Structure 1
Amino acid sequence: MTAELTLGTYRCRDVATAARLATAQGATWVDTAPNYAVGRAEAELATVLAERPAVRVSTKVGFIPENAKRAGIRSGALTSAEAEHGHCLSPGYITWQVTRSGRMLGRTPDLVFLHNPEHALGNADARDGLYQAFAALEAACDQHGIPEYGVSTWTGFTRGIFDLPTLLDLATKVGGRQHRFRAVQLPVSVVHLAPVAQALDGRGVLVDAQAAGIQVFASAPLHGGEIPDMIRPELATLIRPGSTTAQAALAVTASAPGVNRVLLSTGNTEHWAQAAEAVDGPPLSPDVLRRVVDVLGT
């Protein structure tokens, strides 16, 4: 498959151990956020990244970790109301948090995502809010040498708050043709099959991303571990004979057109090895993907 297995630290209890395990097994990218692991994820990754300088890392800005609220208010990056809300995409906060993330990680991140912008933006003000956030991220890229930024969303695409052409249009307005908007992160799984179904019909965010050369990070491929119970053995056999139910689910995500990285949160060596086997295998055919959509729906 063309998709790569990538460590996502959202559900990792021991981020450093999980990162060492994943990178020892060949993972080249780690995805994190300031609010993961109760605000400790970036700091826990710093030692691992220092040990493995070739490993790339993405982080996020949006959710405000509890351990950063007071400092953010003191610096003027946050108002008390914004800190209480727990999510902010103001240019001042983006600038402050990106700088803080670099300090916590001990290095410049390779990619910064706007984290679930739908928490701060409604349909009516999405364009203006995203424009201002993209402008802040372009400036942060210039200031810190960050190569790329993107949007990580749970429901932004499915709720119609934005689509990829809109994001690309805003990025071009902000940064010109040389803008640094280069990635999206969204759930793609047998629970979240709508992007896959759309792609099989030649439309939707995955097709748009592939056409524009935008990286797609597929989050929650096992939906917090619920998927193995959802896929019956006969469906797993249909997807890929001899696979476990978890491997079958991961094969669906990794075979989705346009997906570049599959984010897996685990600190278990056996789970990582099984996932790597599933993702490294040959891609499922469009016919198999269509049958999965027919069985499970969207």
Structure 2
Amino acid sequence: MTDLALGTYRCRAIPETAARAAASGAWIDTAPNYAQGRAHALLAPTLAAHPASRVSTKAGFFTATTGADAVRARVLDGARAATGHSLAPDYLRWQLDRNRAELGRERLDLVLLHNPERAHHGDRAALHQVLRDAFTVLEEAAAAGHLTGYGVATWHGFTDGLFTVADLLALAADAAGTDAHHLAAVQLPVSLVVLGPLLQALDGHGPLADAAAANLTVMASAPLHGGELPRITGPELADLIRPGLTPAQACLLTIASCPGVTQLLVAASSAPHWEEAAVAVAQPPLDATRLREIAGVLTSA
């Protein structure tokens, strides 16, 4: 089963849709740089009103204002702050405390390292050391009761071969000093445009299959490819996927049916859009034969 989750990157009505998502028990996914750095503040009242709601946030990217604050706190120098991204241990500890304060949560449900591939400079081993050092900080935070689990939110780390799920598991075990680590999730794009993970999962390999085998939460991001897919998905393809659904719903159902995916992140811009997405995810999933047929139509186009 795949659950609907609220992604707040492109969400234009965070308080409205967050309230609907929290009331339905859905995950809410955010980051300190979303909504020009205001996403945490916009979400805090909803999280306070729904203390049982679950939220995943991130560390890595930051706004210019946050970067300046980090420089004043002496956890970043000016050159690193100017890049808008860091996973350095001192900065990461500082950002975790800031996330907790902004969200009003003593314990964060899930913290994802935000596009760690940004730390890749032609040296895969060096990137793995960055990840290992960051995981050590996250394990410390888990031991202190400040987070429940952590993971990686990547755009192309898996597809570029910079790391695998097995690599992440090994680095987490090394950081924790035991296999009882707190690596709990991966987030990556899966859509009718980014079909690679789906095709691999149908053949029983790739990041989705590997994550499922390790019982990791798998968050599929950008299932509508930044909102472009509903505009370019024709009625014939939508009917092939499931007659009676809108193009957006058909696209969402396809990714919700993908083996290994546990959370489908949708940046609904209004409560009606959230409800439309919820109807799609509640549909009976497509079987592997239909998924292969859809993929065949798309790859032969």
Judge same fold: TM > 0.5, yes or no: yes
In structure 2, distance between residues paired with 1:225 and 1:178: 39
Please state how far the C-alpha of 1:239 moved relative to its aligned partner.
0.7
In structure 1, distance between residues paired with 2:65 and 2:40: 12
In structure 1, distance between residues paired with 2:255 and 2:154: 17
Please state how far the C-alpha of 1:64 moved relative to its aligned partner.
1.6
Q: Secondary structure at the match of 2:169?
A: helix
Aligned pairs for 1:134-145 (under 5 A) are 134-145=135-146
Report the counterpart of residue 31 of structure 2 in structure 1. 33
- How does the TM-score come out when normalised to structure 1? 0.96
| Aligned 8 A contact 1:250 1:275 in 2 | yes
Measured against aligned partners, the alpha-carbon deviations of 1:208-246 in whole angstroms (never above 9, x if no partner) come to 011110110010111111101232211111111111111
Amino acid at match of 1:290: R
Amino acid at match of 2:87: L
In structure 2, distance between residues paired with 1:109 and 1:297: 40
Measured against aligned partners, the alpha-carbon deviations of 1:124-161 in whole angstroms (never above 9, x if no partner) come to 42211111111111112223431100000001001111
Report the counterpart of residue 217 of structure 2 in structure 1. 215
Please state how far the C-alpha of 1:28 moved relative to its aligned partner.
2.4
Amino acid at match of 2:48: A
In structure 2, distance between residues paired with 1:64 and 1:245: 34
Measured against aligned partners, the alpha-carbon deviations of 1:236-295 in whole angstroms (never above 9, x if no partner) come to 111111111111100111000010000111131221111111101111010111011111
Q: Secondary structure at the match of 2:9?
A: coil
Measured against aligned partners, the alpha-carbon deviations of 1:55-74 in whole angstroms (never above 9, x if no partner) come to 01110000022221222111
Report the counterpart of residue 60 of structure 1 in structure 2. 58
Report the counterpart of residue 14 of structure 1 in structure 2. 13
Report the counterpart of residue 280 of structure 2 in structure 1. 278
| Aligned 8 A contact 2:16 2:270 in 1 | no
| Aligned 8 A contact 1:39 1:66 in 2 | no
Amino acid at match of 1:182: A
Measured against aligned partners, the alpha-carbon deviations of 1:74-119 in whole angstroms (never above 9, x if no partner) come to 1111111110011001011110000000000011220000000011
| Aligned 8 A contact 2:186 2:219 in 1 | yes
| Aligned 8 A contact 2:60 2:113 in 1 | yes
In structure 2, distance between residues paired with 1:151 and 1:269: 28
| Aligned 8 A contact 2:30 2:57 in 1 | yes
In structure 2, distance between residues paired with 1:127 and 1:205: 17
Please state how far the C-alpha of 1:297 moved relative to its aligned partner.
2.3
Report the counterpart of residue 118 of structure 1 in structure 2. 117
Moved over 3 A (4+): none
| Aligned 8 A contact 2:16 2:271 in 1 | no
| Aligned 8 A contact 2:112 2:150 in 1 | yes
Report the counterpart of residue 160 of structure 1 in structure 2. 161
In structure 2, distance between residues paired with 1:121 and 1:137: 20
Aligned pairs for 1:1-298 (under 5 A) are 2-24=1-23, 26-107=24-105, 108-122=107-121, 123-175=124-176, 176-297=178-299
Higher mean alpha-carbon deviation, 152-161 vs 220-229, is at 220-229
| Count of residue correspondences | 296
Measured against aligned partners, the alpha-carbon deviations of 1:171-212 in whole angstroms (never above 9, x if no partner) come to 111111110001000001111110000011111011101111
User: What runs of 5+ residues in structure 1 fail to find an aligned partner?
Assistant: none
| Aligned 8 A contact 2:64 2:82 in 1 | no
User: What runs of 5+ residues in structure 2 fail to find an aligned partner?
Assistant: none
| Aligned 8 A contact 1:252 1:289 in 2 | yes
In structure 1, distance between residues paired with 2:139 and 2:222: 28
Amino acid at match of 1:250: L
Higher mean alpha-carbon deviation, 229-238 vs 242-251, is at 229-238
Amino acid at match of 2:67: K
In structure 1, distance between residues paired with 2:64 and 2:36: 8
Q: Secondary structure at the match of 2:244?
A: coil
Higher mean alpha-carbon deviation, 229-238 vs 155-164, is at 229-238
Higher mean alpha-carbon deviation, 9-18 vs 183-192, is at 9-18
| Aligned 8 A contact 1:6 1:27 in 2 | no
